[in-house]
Amino acid sequence: MERTPSDFKTSSAKNIANSRLRETFHSATRHALEQRLKSIHQVPEWEQLREKGHQIKKEVINQLDFYLEQLESNILNNGGQVFWARDADEASNYILRLCRRLNAKNVVKSKSMTTEEIKLASTLEKQGIEPIETDLGEFIIQLANETPSHIIAPALHMTRQQIGALFNKTFNIPYTEIPEELCAFARGKLRQKFLSTKLGISGVNFAAADTGTIVVVENEGNARMCTNLPKVHVAIMGLEKVIPRFEDLSIFLKLLSRSATGQKQTSYVSMINGPRKVEDLDGPEEFHLVILDNGRTEILSNPKLRESLFCIRCGACLNTCPVYQRVGGHSYGSTYSGPIGSVLTPLLQGLDTAKDLPYASSLCGACSNICPVKIDVHHQLLWLREQVVKQHKSSWQERLAMHCYTSIMKDVRLYRLGSFFLRNLLKIFYKKGQNLNVPGWSKDRDFPPIAAKTFKELWKEKTQQKTT
């Protein structure tokens, strides 16, 4: 099912109407927020830590060319190979060529939003190579032919019954909805793949420039399998994932695991310094790093939005966003959902298709408050809205309405006159005990009743009471 950001209004309306999905997202995001809060209470200096993370990211983005070249040279020194990809096609084709050279019929993949972004799995599939998702959530949604609905928990939108039925149908196994049994089945199924596949693909959470170390953070152990067992390991990273120094990991690992899952430390952190050396007992014989641009240098050229490249993909802004909590990840129709997705998607794909996304926010600022690297997410959304309006992407009705509103708000007499008419007009339509039907507004929610007295009248009464 291919969704695009231009479908945001219809998809989100559909998801809001689905009460089961709303309940799922509500409880899952609330749970994630509680876990995060618990783990952050153990770090009284959390705010300083965020500031430090912000400063390091700023340093790296302002010197991106320097750090990327340093990273490259250290990876080459460690015996790895580096490929720079301008866009999704270049990156996918490089991996495809590797598959061909190895004569690989399939590849094992660990969870990576970057591979989702370049649609690597579908490219490989079209060329006859089976991409095997090995993260449990990704494995499930791959079977269901879905896309991730959350950066951290891709199958968040599915119930255990749906997953049980899916396994039952796909693998012809007896139906079970017990999560432990479903997980054990997937473990056995994927273990065989890990032991026989020639190419492993992973994402990159951080890449330390000064040592040429790439870091993969996870809980399941599938990324360890993908990066250790196959003959060749390819890691793919957006070019903003570089960090200056190995020692900076102590800051970022703390920020990421606590913000993403509320863990002090995830079960596994793999730090990879290149392919196996002769004296090593195991490990891949080749290590390749793909450094992906795919629109990121375009974001970099915009001083107002450059900061969005600080993102470490923790998903905290999704969980805390009142819009995301209700509409779910799929409504956004893009790889990156939630507030940060509403900034990144228009920038990576263009405002034309994604012009609704900057409006998928109440501008409450919860995203900016929770961001572990202090990205000013909601102001970036506001700035993007300005671009939409400047490019006349808003409807003529909206522009007319805003024009009238501006004139009325500028003149106190006009304002009084306007509100007098509006109030009395609405009173005529309001029937006792009935909701007012306002097209576009009152389909899923009530229109608030008109107050008996205006603020001005109330104010007058209150001040008179005081004086008497």
Partner 1 sequence: MNASRTEILGRIRRSLDGLNRQQAPTKSDSSKFLFASDFVDLSRIAQRFKVESNCVGGETEICPNIDSVFQFIKSLIRDSGYKNIAVSNHNICVDNQIIQKLSVDLPEITFFNENNESGDHLQHSSNTHRLAQTDLSITGVDCLIADSGTIILTSKPEASRQISLLPTAHLAIASINQIYPNLSTALEYLQSTWATDHYPTAITLITGPSRTADIEKVLIKGAHGPVRQLALLIEDEIR
Residue type present at position 281: L
Window 126-145: residues binding partner 1 (CB under 8 A): 134-137, 140
Describe the chain by its helix, strand, coil percentages, rounded to 5. 55, 10, 35
Are residues 121 and 92 in contact, defined by beta-carbon separation less than 8 angstroms? no
Residue 283 engages partner 1 in binding (rule: CB under 8 A) = yes
Select the span of 183-191, 390-398, 406-414, 436-444 touching partner 1 (CB under 8 A). Answer: 183-191
DSSP E strands in 128-259: the ranges are: 130-133, 199-202, 206-208, 213-218, 232-238, 242-243
Q: CB 171 → partner 1: shortest distance, Å? A: 16
Residue 263 engages partner 1 in binding (rule: CB under 8 A) = yes
Residues contacting residue 309 through CB under 8 Å, at least 6 positions apart? 57, 61, 240, 296, 299, 300
Query: String of b and e for 309-327 (b: at least 16 CB within 10 Å)?
Result: bbbbbbbbbbbbbebbbbb
Residue 272 engages partner 1 in binding (rule: CB under 8 A) = yes
3-state secondary structure of 231: coil
85's enclosing H/E stretch is strand 81-85
Select the span of 116-124, 192-200, 368-376, 384-392 touching partner 1 (CB under 8 A). Answer: 192-200
Select the span of 84-92, 119-127, 313-321, 451-459 touching partner 1 (CB under 8 A). Answer: 84-92
Residue 10 engages partner 1 in binding (rule: CB under 8 A) = no
Window 430-449: residues binding partner 1 (CB under 8 A): none
Cβ proximity to partner 1, 150 vs 378, nearer residue: 150
Q: CB 337 → partner 1: shortest distance, Å? A: 17
Q: CB 287 → partner 1: shortest distance, Å? A: 8
Residue 64 engages partner 1 in binding (rule: CB under 8 A) = yes
Residue 407 engages partner 1 in binding (rule: CB under 8 A) = no
Window 216-255: residues binding partner 1 (CB under 8 A): 219-222, 224-225, 227-231, 239, 244-251, 253-254
Cβ proximity to partner 1, 230 vs 333, nearer residue: 230
Degrees (nearest 5) of the Cα angle 257, 238, 112?
A: 55
Cβ proximity to partner 1, 22 vs 385, nearer residue: 22
Window 40-59: residues binding partner 1 (CB under 8 A): 42-45, 48-49, 52, 56, 59
Look at residues 18, 22, 33, 29 and name the one whose alpha carbon lies nearest to residue 326: 22
Look at residues 226, 219, 236 and name the one whose alpha carbon lies nearest to residue 137: 219
Residue 2 engages partner 1 in binding (rule: CB under 8 A) = no
Q: CB 20 → partner 1: shortest distance, Å? A: 12
Residue 380 to residues 48, 61, 95, 440, Cα–Cα distance (Å): 23, 17, 34, 27
Are residues 137 and 28 in contact, defined by beta-carbon separation less than 8 angstroms? no
Residue 203 engages partner 1 in binding (rule: CB under 8 A) = no
Is 65 buried (19+), middle (13-18) or exposed (0-12) by CB count in 10 A?
A: exposed
Cβ proximity to partner 1, 116 vs 356, nearer residue: 116
Which residues are 238's β-sheet partners? 292
Residue 20 engages partner 1 in binding (rule: CB under 8 A) = no
Alpha-carbon gap, residue 308 to 364, rounded angstroms: 18
83's enclosing H/E stretch is strand 81-85
Q: CB 67 → partner 1: shortest distance, Å? A: 7
Residue 149 engages partner 1 in binding (rule: CB under 8 A) = no
Residue 89 engages partner 1 in binding (rule: CB under 8 A) = no
Residue 414 engages partner 1 in binding (rule: CB under 8 A) = no
Cβ proximity to partner 1, 301 vs 406, nearer residue: 301
